[in-house]
Amino acid sequence: MVSYRYTPPPPLDRFVEVIWVMEAPAAPHSKERLLPDGSVELVFDLGSGRFPIFTNETLTRRETFRDSVVCGPHSQAFGIDTSNGTSVAGVHFKPGGAHPFLKLPFGELHNTHVSLDDFWGRSVATWVRDQLLEAPTPQTKAQVLERELLSIAAGQPERHPAVAFALSKFHFTPEATRISDVTDKIGISPRHFIDVFRNEVGLTPKLFCRVRRFQQVLRQISVGARIQWSAVALEAGYFDQAHFIHDFRAFSGINPSAFVSDYQGHVNHVPVNPLQP
């Protein structure tokens, strides 16, 4: 198995969480459930060139993409095929970070997957994939993606200052931050702020904060300690345990206890039992 992660320097570090390359044999489970974190992922398939994704809650509806795919900002889980081995490279953007490189109102990509051809054109997307295939090492593959992102951005990529400020607030206290806490400081109306935020991030501020709170819970319950669900719900700012379970299932498609049972070390990749659909 090969797993390489590269954090780019400025100016990309403000927009890109990590550039990654992975090669892995077939897993003992046929699918993995990917949990939402409110960000965008760009993925190149470097194997067969076919990228199947399962897009409904039971992971039975299959969409197949050719060569590359943009996974839009999600607030629900989707599935990937792990039965035939993996050879992929990609970019995991920070929340709102994909906007300068894909140039689309991201509210249109909520809970969707779109071919990279629709953003960069078939010829550019194919050229980048060919460069990745020719690059001899994971490090040089990451450099291919880094150079292309810098080229697409054409200089210093920027984001709306209101979005940058809001994301910094939501990162630390998603369960406690209100829209008014942001709009009162940046001097724009709540309606305009919501539109700008959805345009760059893909989710409304309220939904984004719910997803980030869900992510905080995932990290809390995956550390291996004995779990008291009522305490987890209270600490995360949920009204009660029922509210917590409802949100958890809405975002993941499974119950918290199922996540703990199936967890194998990667917070946002949950193996799917081969006996399930």
- Tokens representing residue 245 in the block: 């379970």
* pLDDT (0 to 100) of residue 113: 96
Shared domain for 187 and 244, answered yes or no, is: yes
Shared domain for 147 and 176, answered yes or no, is: no
* pLDDT (0 to 100) of residue 235: 86
- Selected residue with higher pLDDT from 8 and 234: 8
Asked whether residue 132 is assigned to any structural domain, the reply reads yes
CATH number assigned to the domain comprising residue 16: 2.60.120
Write down which residue in 153, 182, 206 finishes a domain.
153
Write down which residue in 115, 133, 153 finishes a domain.
153
Instruction: Please state, in angstroms and rounded to a whole number, the distance separating the CA atoms of residues 147 and 261.
Output: 41
Lowest mean pLDDT among 74-83, 150-159, 206-215: 150-159
Shared domain for 180 and 125, answered yes or no, is: no
Shared domain for 8 and 145, answered yes or no, is: yes
Asked whether residue 277 is assigned to any structural domain, the reply reads no
- Check whether 255 has a pLDDT greater than 70: yes
Instruction: Please state, in angstroms and rounded to a whole number, the distance separating the CA atoms of residues 38 and 27.
Output: 26
* pLDDT (0 to 100) of residue 175: 57
Instruction: Please state, in angstroms and rounded to a whole number, the distance separating the CA atoms of residues 125 and 118.
Output: 9
Shared domain for 185 and 60, answered yes or no, is: no
Per-residue confidence band for 249, with pLDDT thresholds at 50, 70 and 90: very high
Asked whether residue 46 is assigned to any structural domain, the reply reads yes
Shared domain for 63 and 149, answered yes or no, is: yes
Average pLDDT over residues 192-217: 93
Q: For residue 107, what are the domain limits?
A: 2-153
Shared domain for 94 and 168, answered yes or no, is: no
Shared domain for 34 and 84, answered yes or no, is: yes
Q: Count the domains in the chain.
A: 2
- Check whether 219 has a pLDDT greater than 90: no
Write down which residue in 106, 128, 153 finishes a domain.
153
Shared domain for 149 and 183, answered yes or no, is: no
Shared domain for 109 and 173, answered yes or no, is: no
Residue written as tokens 């690059």?
135
CA dihedral (183, 187, 191, 197) in degrees, to 10, reads -70
- Check whether 251 has a pLDDT greater than 90: yes
